[in-house]
Amino acid sequence: MTHQAYRLSIIYFTLFALLLLTTGATLFFSKIGFSFEAIHNYYAGNEALFMNAKSTYGQLETLVPHLGAMGLFIMVMGHFILFASKKRRKGIVTIFILLFIAALGDIVSGLFIAKNIGLFIGVKLLSFIALIGFGYYLSLLVLHEAYLGFKKA
Amino acid sequence: MKFTLVKDLRGNTLLRPLLGGLLVFILLFLSADIILKNDHIGLTIQTLSTTLYGNEEEYIEPVTFHFILELLHSDIFFMMMTLLTLGAIFSRLCEKNRLRILIINITMASALLDVLFLFGAYFFGPLFIPLWIGVFWIWHVGAFIMSLLSLFHLFAPKKALI
């Protein structure tokens, strides 16, 4: 019966995870924007629009908590699915690795965009989309497995 | 999460103080969160509506959508991690199944509604403000009860648990 209580906590945890990803995507959209130009303006600045470039230390204030939080989030979410589903282990491990890479790309690319290295605008956009997409997929997978387990118990 | 696998948590001299320390920190986090929210956005209908919608007479500007989003984004993370850990410890220590399922459900559901109602109050008006205040207190009190019951089950002598 203890497992039933664990599963309940996990179900709520995944609902929070979906909300976390949604607020993250909304923040990105409303604060930065999803176009190449908007991302460049946000990090490297634009004199015509009176936008200052983001300083390295200014970016570190966002970067540091995200490094800790994203690492922890992916690890916790990942270990739930590893325990819950034995069928799709290989595929899921690939998703973790991709998630870690995407999270790192999303966090670090701003530093390079601020130095006017245009290539990283694509890295930022691609890694953010991958992070949100795989994050949703993993969360829904955990939710599905936990719900099935809860119903069986 | 090794504590989910150890059979006798109360008898484990390493895990008992570790979990005890974590529970005390969770209690401190919950208390500090109440103080911070009271200062930051307000915990009464009057103060929260001033924060969300501003007050022309006192020349107070309403908060921006970014402010609410950033506040909730970080809040969701801390809520999910704290409540998951607390839920796992509580499930392991409290043996009355109905009670633990009930408390976990009420606490977690009201924490989820906390997020949704604050968005509701910002976008759809003051109707959601008392609802948000209600669920804010419910999930904090629920988490307090879970922490205190877990501490009790962890440190109380065996006779007191029967």
What is the tens place of the pLDDT at every residue in B96-141? 778 889 999 999 999 999 999 999 999 998 999 999 999 999 999 9
Interface contact flag, A69 B104, Cβ < 8 Å: no
Average pLDDT, rounded, for chain B: 90
CB contact under 8 A, B69 and A8: no
User: pTM value?
Assistant: 0.90
- Say yes or no to pLDDT of B56 above 70: yes
Check CB contact under 8 Å for A24 and B73.
yes
CB pair distance less than 8 Å for A13 and B65: no
Asked if A146 contacts A10 with a C-beta cutoff of 8 angstroms, the reply is yes
Sign of CA dihedral B83, B88, B90, B95: positive
Q: What is the pLDDT of residue B28?
A: 97
**pLDDT(B6) > 70:** no
Q: Which residues of A83-112 are buried (b: 16+ CB within 10 A; e: fewer)?
A: ebbeeeeeebeebbeebbebbebbbbbbbb
B79 touches chain A (CB under 8 A): yes
State which residue of chain B sits closest to A6, comparing Cα positions.
B88
DSSP string computed for chain B: -GGGT-S-STT-TTHHHHHHHHHHHHHHHHHHHHHHHHHHT-SSHHHHHHHHH-BTTTTBPPPPHHHHHHHHHHHHHHHHHHHHHHHHHHHHH---HHHHHHHHHHHHHHHHHHHHHHHHHHHH-TTHHHHHHHHHHHHHHHHHHHHHHHHHHHHS-HHHH-
Q: Could you say which residues of chain A have pLDDT below 70?
A: 1-2, 83-88, 153
In this prediction the ipTM stands at: 0.88
Question: Which residues of B fall within a CB distance of 8 Å from A26?
Answer: 69
Reported confidence tier of residue B159, pLDDT bands at 50, 70, 90: low
What does DSSP assign to residue A89? H
Facing residues of B60 across strands?
Answer: B55
- Amino acid B107: pLDDT: 96
